[in-house]
Amino acid sequence: MEATPILCELRVLVGAETQLLHVPVGSNLRRVLLDANLSPYVPITTFANCGGRGLCGTCGIRFEAGEPAPFHWHDRLAAHYGYPRLSCQISIDGPMTVRLLIDKVIWGKREPALRYPPRSADGEG
Contact by Cβ (8 Å): 74, 89: yes
pTM for this predicted structure = 0.79
For 113-123, what is each residue's pLDDT tens digit? 665 555 555 55
- Indicate the helix (H) or strand (E) that contains 14: strand 7-14
Domain ranges for the chain:
7-114
SS (H, E, C) 73-106: HHHHHHHHHCCCEEHHHCEECCCEEEEECCCCCC
Fold of 7-114: Ubiquitin-like (UB roll) (3.10.20)
Question: How far apart are alpha carbons 94 and 25 in whole angstroms?
Answer: 7
For 13-33, what is each residue's pLDDT tens digit? 999 999 999 999 999 999 999
